[in-house]
Amino acid sequence: MRSTTVSIQTLRRLPLYLHYLKSVKDELPSISATLLADALGLNDVQVRKDLGSVSGNGRPKKGYVTEELIVDLEEYLGCNSNTPAVLIGAGNLGRALLSYSGFSDYGLRIVAAFDASPAVVGKEAGGLTVRPIDELKKICTDNDVKLGIITVPASGAQDACDKLVACGITAIWNFAPTTLKVPEGVLVENENLASSLAVLSKHLIGDGRIA
């Protein structure tokens, strides 16, 4: 495995490759970038470049050994590591994420869930008991948590964010439809449903050409 520069766009595609490869590894012991590109509806050169920067174990005429490529991707993405995370906001979306089992495939483990509302604290969600916010600091320190997930309404998002940052969190997954202000060195990844919906709606409305 190499350690070249990988663009964010490439990084986003890697899990797609990994997921597809896992699903076909029994039928296809080896696979070419062209075939992979075709299966995922991507440009073949792009896939070749992406794989090259992460694995580099492709052989001319043969392509990649599927199993080998899976291992390289998993290693690169840290799927075998165990990243502890905390979640703030045990509403509908928060509980859905807590119950979602697929995260462990990517090395993520949500160790605790918090909510500001006393009505929700103490209830169970996805195998965890929802805790009050004032326990956040202790949990983060004890478990060396660096990743925080925000699933509160937009109005409370910045506050939740500030609390997470104060606890030493350096990566935030934000599901609230707001932009968060964070200090240098903290990464925010926005999962903005409204943005996606805008793209879909505009396609349906049809006017106002999209580039």
Partner DNA sequence: TAGATTGTTAATCGATTAACAATC
Q: Is 208 in the site for a copy of itself (CB under 8 A)?
A: yes
Least distance between a copy of itself and beta carbon 132 (Å): 23
Q: Which does 17 bind (CB under 5 to 8 A by kind): a copy of itself, DNA, none?
A: none
Q: Which does 64 bind (CB under 5 to 8 A by kind): a copy of itself, DNA, none?
A: DNA
Torsion angle, alpha carbons of 140, 143, 147, 153, to 10: -50
List the interface residues with a copy of itself, window 113-142 (CB under 8 A): none
Burial of 114 (0-12, 13-18, 19+ CB in 10 A): buried
- Residue choice 20, 35, 44, 143 for contact with a copy of itself (CB under 8 A): 20
Q: Is 25 in the site for DNA (CB under 7 A)?
A: no
Query: Is the four-CA dihedral 110, 70, 27, 37 of positive or negative sign?
Result: positive
Least distance between DNA and beta carbon 73 (Å): 13
- If the CB atoms of residues 130 and 182 are measured against DNA, the closer one turns out to be 182
User: What contacts 24+ positions apart, CB below 8 Å, involve 120-127?
Assistant: 120/90, 120/91, 123/90, 125/90, 125/94, 125/95, 125/98, 125/99, 126/95, 126/97, 126/98, 126/99, 126/100, 127/98
- Residue choice 1, 45, 96, 197 for contact with DNA (CB under 7 A): 45
Element (H, E) at 23: helix 8-24
Residues 98-117 vs a copy of itself: string with x where CB under 8 A?
Answer: -xx-xx-xxxx---------
Element (H, E) at 103: none
CB 73 within 8 A of CB 91: no
Tokens of 93: 């979306």
Residues 106-145 vs DNA: string with x where CB under 7 A?
Answer: ----------------------------------------
Angle at 185 between CA 182 and CA 188, to 5 degrees: 50
Element (H, E) at 190: strand 187-190
Residues of this chain that interact with DNA (CB under 7 A) are 7-10, 32-34, 42-46, 48-49, 51-52, 55-64, 211
Residues of this chain that interact with a copy of itself (CB under 8 A) are 3-8, 11-16, 19-20, 23, 39-42, 76-78, 81, 83, 92-93, 95-97, 99-100, 102-103, 105-108, 146-147, 154-155, 170-171, 173, 177-179, 181, 187, 189, 191-205, 207-211
